[in-house]
């Protein structure tokens, strides 16, 4: 077993998943504004350290993805954020892309940037304690999109990023996110997501990536959020499994889904069914941002000093996701 593969398994095995707390300041400002809290470095830190010191971190969270500001912050108790995360047994990770920008010659689509100077930034993050990283490519579905150009150029960037990360002895999370925005059918989402993931692996293989040392972070297969033809949770799990079976090489140890705008319950229930029906060798778990933090953020906004109430809310959500990653979640447990 390689060092990279060991890191992967530590993050995603045994009912653990990833807390995606890597919102850039712009996104975090929107999240905080939605609950009437001012977005300051102090408030962003307070919310995040409240989550990172929760009990469920030990059993349910194998890795936390951080944003540059957070990985450099010290907690209100004086230790560093990576040390706080490591003290629960979880691994600190870092978002290293610098965002999705307009794609030249197809300006309604996006290309993720951040390759310039990446090797140097990775060395710095390794010294701060990071052992895995994240890079997200974003794709939209419409009549003409995603274009071949967007599919190819984002896959190329994800592969170049992954090579630099593995060279720096860290695990790359490869996140191609096909957005749920639109009125497309689930069948179109299945076809487009499969095409996107297959191109990513073509490029990853070309760039000599050790596939046992990556985590794939894809979207689930859903109908567009404006489609009149929504599918059942059972169908989401079947189509998601179909997509991954035909698109992901067997050397990949596991998949950690993004929630992508699903509600907390939807994201939990769909993951649960994926695991119940899992007929692959891949570990299937979560790397949720909104679907782990939404209720906790609302609770926190009621009284930002009430650590216990926020942690209770977060613990429940993390425990439900952990059960789902083993196919053991139920409505009864959810409502207990």
Catalytic residues: 217
Q: CA 278 to CA 283: how far, in whole Å? A: 9
Asked if residue 81 has a cis previous peptide bond (ω within 30° of 0), the answer is: no
**Footprint of ligand 5MM on 115-144 (CB under 6 A):** 136
- Of 2-10, 16-24, 195-203, 322-330, the window that binds ligand 5MM (rule: CB under 6 A) is 16-24
Among 5, 14, 24, 98, binds ligand 5MM (CB under 6 A): 24
Task: Find, among 64, 62, 97, the residue nearest to 81 by Cα.
Answer: 64
Among 17, 129, 182, 260, binds ligand 5MM (CB under 6 A): 260
Maximum C-alpha span of the chain: 53
Residue 142 burial by CB count (10 A; 0-12/13-18/19+): exposed, middle or buried? middle
Three-state SS at 286: strand
Q: CA 218 to CA 257: how far, in whole Å? A: 5
CB of 208 to ligand 5MM, least distance (A): 26
Task: Find, among 58, 82, 65, the residue nearest to 20 by Cα.
Answer: 65
Closer by beta carbon to ligand 5MM, 146 or else 289? 289
Closer by beta carbon to ligand 5MM, 129 or else 289? 289
Neighbouring CB atoms inside 10 A of 88's CB total 17
Among 159, 192, 289, 310, binds ligand 5MM (CB under 6 A): 289
* By CB under 6 A, residue 155 contacts ligand 5MM: no
CB of 175 to ligand 5MM, least distance (A): 6
Among 8, 11, 19, 23, binds ligand 5MM (CB under 6 A): 23
How far lies 325's CA from each of 43, 145, 261, in Å? 31, 32, 19
Among 110, 131, 290, 317, binds ligand 5MM (CB under 6 A): 290
* By CB under 6 A, residue 259 contacts ligand 5MM: yes
Residues found near ligand 5MM in the complex (CB under 6 A)? 20, 22-24, 27, 65, 136, 177, 258-260, 288-291
């Amino acid at each position: 077993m390689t060092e990279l593969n060991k890191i992967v398994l530590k993050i995603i095995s045994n009912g653990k998943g990833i807390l995606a707390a890597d919102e850039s300041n712009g996104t975090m400002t929107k999240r905080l504004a939605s609950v009437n809290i001012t977005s300051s470095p102090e408030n962003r830190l307070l919310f995040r350290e409240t989550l990172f010191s929760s009990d469920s971190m030990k059993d349910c969270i194998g890795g936390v993805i951080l944003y540059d500001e957070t990985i450099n912050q010290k907690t209100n108790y004086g230790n560093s954020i990576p040390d706080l995360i490591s003290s629960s047994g979880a691994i600190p990770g870092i978002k290293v892309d610098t965002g999705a920008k307009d794609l030249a010659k197809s300006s309604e689509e996006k290309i993720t940037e951040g390759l310039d100077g990446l090797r140097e930034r990775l060395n710095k993050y390794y010294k701060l304690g990071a052992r895995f990283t994240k890079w997200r490519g974003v794709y939209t579905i419409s009549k003409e999109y995603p274009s071949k150009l967007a599919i190819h150029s984002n896959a190329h960037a994800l592969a170049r990023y992954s090579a630099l990360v593995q060279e720096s002895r860290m695990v790359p999370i490869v996140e191609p996110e096909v957005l749920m925005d639109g009125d497309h059918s689930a069948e179109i989402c299945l076809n487009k997501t499969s095409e996107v993931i297959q191109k990513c692996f073509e490029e990853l293989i070309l760039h000599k990536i050790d596939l046992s040392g990556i985590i794939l972070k894809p979207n689930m297969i859903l109908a567009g959020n404006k489609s009149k033809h929504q599918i059942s949770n059972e169908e989401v799990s079947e189509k998601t499994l179909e997509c991954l079976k035909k698109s992901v090489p067997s050397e990949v140890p596991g998949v950690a889904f993004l929630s992508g705008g699903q509600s907390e319950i939807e994201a939990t229930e769909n993951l649960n069914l994926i695991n119940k029906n899992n007929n692959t060798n891949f570990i299937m778990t979560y790397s949720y941002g909104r679907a782990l933090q939404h209720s906790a953020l609302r609770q926190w906004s009621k009284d930002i000093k009430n650590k216990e109430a926020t942690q209770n809310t977060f613990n429940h959500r993390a425990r439900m996701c952990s059960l789902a990653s083993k196919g053991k979640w139920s409505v009864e447990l959810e409502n207990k």
